[in-house]
Amino acid sequence: MLTQGFHQGRLTITAIDPYTLMGVEIHVYPNPTSAGATVSILNGFSQGHQLMLFDSEGRVLLTKKIRNACETIGLESYPPGVYMIRIQHVSQPGSQTFSIVKH
């Protein structure tokens, strides 16, 4: 029998490469969390990076300039749910967004 298209059998993801934003490697951990999250910029850190925290409805909860290569975001005052953390550089195009679960 002939069919058109590509048939994908079972797909198993074994590894995901870390995201990079303009050559900058960013990690957000732990995920899930109960208290807070750490944003770590491994290479290419500069004072021009900023982060924004959004709730599941897209409301901006926090805007913060990243002053160190490793910053902590306190989530204690927010209810359990899914949050988005967007990292961008103020003078360069593009951004990186991470989803984090607070339980």
3-state secondary structure 30-93: CCCECCEEEEEECCCCCCCEEEEEECCCCCEEEEEECCCCEEEEECCCCCCEEEEEEEEECCCC
Give mean pLDDT, residues 94-98. Answer: 87
Q: What pLDDT shows up at residue 13?
A: 59
Residues 22-81 pLDDT 10s: 677 889 999 999 999 999 988 777 788 899 999 999 999 999 999 998 999 999 999 999
Read off the CATH number of the domain in which 65 is found. Answer: 2.60.40.3080
The residue segments making up the domain with residue 75 are 20-102
- Domain count along the chain: 1
* Residue 24 to residue 44: CA distance in whole angstroms: 5
pLDDT value, residue 48: 83
- DSSP code for 22: T
Whether 6 maps to a domain, the answer reads no
pLDDT tier at 11, thresholds 50, 70, 90 = low
**Would residue 8 count as lying in a domain?**
no
pTM for the complete prediction?
Answer: 0.76
Please indicate, yes or no, if residue 79 is contained in any of the structural domains: yes
Q: Which residue has the higher pLDDT, 16 or 70?
A: 70
